[in-house]
């Protein structure tokens, strides 16, 4: 059986309006990326209501949970460079959500602590984020989410250590 050849081989535009992506769809990493993009975008919108960017929010959460930490350690935890954390801490301090306190036995470093306002905003924002997650993952069962969490942790541990 001979293969049929296209009758017209002159350059033409691909006729379909939407492209196929069979090759990429076969890649698990691609599926995760596309799904995560939605989560990320919706999270950004959610936090925008509190005038917070994702990174600023995570910084606030981490400072609240790790009261008294330094910018150096925080930058490490957030996986960003120290210089880039300065502006974030500046903003949080200007908005009086945290304070930079001087450390007695180490006058190089600051001790970062959330204020009462900061703590309250943190709670409100966190509630909004939980609602956002409930909505984003409404298509998953509780068992799904549990399994998904375990898989993500496994991937992380598989490549972090």
Closest CB to a second copy among residues 4, 28: 28
> Among DNA, a second copy, none, what does residue 53 contact (CB within 5–8 Å per kind)?
DNA
Instruction: Count interface residues toward DNA (CB under 7 A).
Output: 20
Binding mask 88-127 for DNA (x = CB under 7 A): -x----------x----xxxxxx-----------------
Tell the smallest beta-carbon distance from residue 70 to DNA (Å).
3
Tell the smallest beta-carbon distance from residue 48 to DNA (Å).
11
What secondary structure, in 3-state letters, does the chain show?
Answer: CCCCCCCCCCCCCCCCCCCCCHHHHCCHHHHHHHHHHHHHHHHHHHHHCCCCCHHHHHHHHHHHHCCCECHHHHHHHHCCCHHHHHHHHHHHHHCCCEEEEECCCCCCCEEEEECHHHHHHHHHHHHHHHHHHHHHCCCCCHHHHHHHHHHHHHHHHHHHC
Tell the smallest beta-carbon distance from residue 73 to DNA (Å).
7
Tell the smallest beta-carbon distance from residue 81 to DNA (Å).
4
């Amino acid at each position: 059986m001979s293969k049929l050849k296209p009758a017209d081989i002159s350059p033409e535009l691909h006729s379909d309006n939407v492209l196929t992506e069979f090759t990429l769809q076969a890649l698990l990493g691609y599926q995760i990326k596309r799904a995560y993009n939605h989560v990320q975008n919706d999270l950004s919108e959610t936090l925008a209501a509190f005038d917070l960017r994702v990174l600023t929010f995570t910084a606030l959460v981490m400072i609240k949970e790790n009261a008294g930490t330094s910018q150096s350690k925080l930058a490490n935890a957030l996986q960003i460079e120290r210089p880039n954390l300065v502006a974030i801490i500046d903003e949080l301090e200007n908005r009086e959500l945290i304070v930079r306190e001087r450390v007695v036995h180490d006058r190089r470093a600051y001790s970062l602590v959330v204020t009462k306002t900061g703590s309250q905003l943190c709670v409100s924002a966190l509630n909004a984020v939980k609602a956002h997650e409930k909505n984003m993952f409404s298509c998953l069962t509780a068992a799904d989410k549990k399994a998904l969490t375990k898989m993500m942790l496994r991937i992380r541990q598989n490549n972090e250590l």
